[in-house]
Every structure is written in structure tokens, then in C-alpha cells.
Structure 1
Amino acid sequence: MLDALKRLRDSFGQDQRGAVLVEMTLVAPLMIILSAGVFEFGNIMHQKLLMQAGVNDAARFAARCNSQMYTEYGLPAINCADMAKNIAVFGNPAGSGSPRVADWETSDVTVAIASPADCHDAVVGGVTQYRSVTPQVCIAKVTNAKVYADLGMLSVIGIGSITLNGTHEERLIRF
């Protein structure tokens, strides 16, 4: 009986049939979490890039929008800030269609179009802040902040919500 146990022990030590199963059991959870993290990070970067493109588009529109011109020609005044928010989120001034990023709302976007009183000096204390042929430079600034809360598998390892921010400034063009 003892000889049979010794032979079984010796053959078990040299047998490789279950080694792959044991290795896979040890490595699989780590690989699944790592793979999920890579996919989730890619999704976060995709949303960030879509939102930054919207912010850039909105700032360009806000810099060229002139609501005063409409009233001078007898047209109804427009709200450039609201239209810029719609462009950022929906890609069009009317705000129709689906947003560029799921759950992104116009309330997540801030548009600041400088009035002539809020313009910046091009040169401050002898240091050029803005290159300009005029003594003052007016800008339109669009910012956004959206919480990316759906982390999926990353929440398992304790990563909380992430806030995606974006900012873009453009010089105002008044005609």
C-alpha cells in the first residue's frame, strides 16, 4: 500500500497535465481586469476627444457670432452663448439631434463672450500677452465639465468617478 502511494506521489510530481489549468486560474482575473481597464480608458479618451471637438467648434462660433449685427439690420436678436452651447453638445446651433457624448447636456458647458469692457490688454507691463495690432484683445472662452461615472470594471479596483474637462479660447472677430 505504501509503495502504491509512493508511486502515485512520484507520478503526480512529474505529471504536467493540470499545470495549464492552474496557471490560467491564477492569471485570468488579472488579465480580465487589465483588459477591461484598457477598453474603459479608450472609451474615456474617445469621449474626451469628442467633447474637446465640441468645445473648439463652440468657441469658434462664439468668436464670430455677432448678435448686435442682427438687430442693426432689423432681424431678431440671437443668443450667441446658447447657440454655442448647442454647437458644443449637439453639433448644430438649433440643439437638435443626439448629443456627441451620451448624457452630455448644455448645462455642462459654459460660454463666456467678452464684452468690450472685459477685453484684455495686449501688452501688460511691457510683456506681450497677446499678439495684436490693437491695444486690447477680446476673447470667447468655452469650458466644459462632465462627470464620467460609468467606470465598469475599474470600479472594482477602487477608481471613482472621473471629471472630463475641456477649455478653448478664440479671439473675437467683430465685423
Structure 2
Amino acid sequence: MLAKLNHMIRRFKGEDDGAILVEMALLTPFMLLLSAGVFEFSNILNTRMLLDAGVRDAARYMARCSSDWDTCKGLAQTLAANGAIDGTSARVSGWLPSQVEITKSFSTPAIDPATGTELYLSGTSNVDVVQVKTSYPYAGVGLWSYLGFGQLTLTVFHQERVLGW
């Protein structure tokens, strides 16, 4: 019996016809997982960039708007979420204008805490600054939650000096 087993093992060692099949069977799940991870990460990055563009557009609009605050705020929120003031198409699926927070603050003068440099040069002591912020719960394609991570919330913030009003 032992001789027969040794003969089968020697014969199996000499054959390499199925080696590629075994290697592919071992490697394919890892390659699929890696590919899905790259796709998910690029989708997260794309969504983050679209949110950032919307927040920047809204802050620039508010900084130059010459109408009253409430009218400009509603139009800027629509601009951020839809990419246009008329609100025809969504910039990011599920991102609503109500999720865009717009506030106005006075900076005396604005100093960057990291570098100590003055952010907005002004001849007056107060500088009006518009701050636009949003938080978006990322739904994604499911790989993120399948791997056991919690829900991902993308948060974007931008501020602009007010030039109008």
C-alpha cells in the first residue's frame, strides 16, 4: 500500500498540466477583490471631487451675489447640488440642496492657524466671509460595507471672501 502511494505521489509531482489552473483558482479571488477595491476607491474620490466643486461654486456665487441673503442662499444651494441655478440635473445622486449649509461670518482679520499668515488682506478691520459646508452619506457599490467598515460620510468645506452686497 505504501509503495502504491509513493508511486502516485511521484507521478503527481511529474505532472504540471493542471498547475496553471490551480494558480488561477488561487489568484482570481484576490485579483477580483483588488479590482473591486480600485473601482470603489475611484468612485469615492469622484464623488468627493463633485461635492468639492459644488461647494466651491456655491461659495463663489454667494461671495459675488448682489441680491438679498435668503434669495442668494437658496440659489447657491441649488447651484451646489445641481450644478446649475435652474436645478435641472443632480451633480451627485441623492445630494439635495438642503444638505448644503451656508453661513456668513466676520473675520477680524482671518489668520491661518497653521502658518500664521493673514488669509484676507483688507483696509478695514472686518472681512465678510461666506462658509459653505456639506456632509454626504456615501452609499457606494457595497464593497466598503462588505469588508466590515461603517458608513462613510464625505464632508466638504470651503470659504470665500464676500466681494458683493
TM-score range, shorter chain: 0.7 to 0.9
CA distance in 2: counterparts of 1:90 and 1:28, whole angstroms: 40
Instruction: Measure how far apart 1:90 and its partner are.
Output: 0.7
Offset from partner CA, 1:35-89 (integer Å, 9 cap, x none): 1010010011011101101110000001111224xxxxxxxx9611111000001
Aligned to 1:81: 73
User: Normalising to structure 1: TM-score of the pair?
Assistant: 0.81
CA distance in 2: counterparts of 1:54 and 1:128, whole angstroms: 26
Change (3 A) 1:119 1:11: same
Aligned match for 2:124, one of 94, 116, 134 = 134
Instruction: Measure how far apart 1:155 and its partner are.
Output: 2.5
Q: What are the ranges of 5 or more consecutive residues in structure 2 without an aligned counterpart?
A: 112-116
Q: What are the ranges of 5 or more consecutive residues in structure 1 without an aligned counterpart?
A: 69-76
Task: Give structure 1 regions of 4+ aligned residues with deviation exceeding 4 angstroms.
Answer: 1-6
Change (3 A) 1:160 1:78: closer
Instruction: Measure how far apart 1:6 and its partner are.
Output: 4.3
CA RMSD in angstroms comes to 2.4
Question: Residues 150 and 161 of structure 1 are in contact (CA less than 8 Å); yes or no, is this contact kept in structure 2?
Answer: no
Instruction: Measure how far apart 1:31 and its partner are.
Output: 1.4
Question: Residues 58 and 80 of structure 2 are in contact (CA less than 8 Å); yes or no, is this contact kept in structure 1?
Answer: yes
Question: Residues 43 and 140 of structure 2 are in contact (CA less than 8 Å); yes or no, is this contact kept in structure 1?
Answer: no
Aligned to 1:101: 92
- Amino acid aligned to 2:100: V
Change (3 A) 1:8 1:78: closer
User: Normalising to structure 2: TM-score of the pair?
Assistant: 0.85
The number of aligned residues is 160
Aligned to 1:152: 142
Instruction: Measure how far apart 1:160 and its partner are.
Output: 2.3
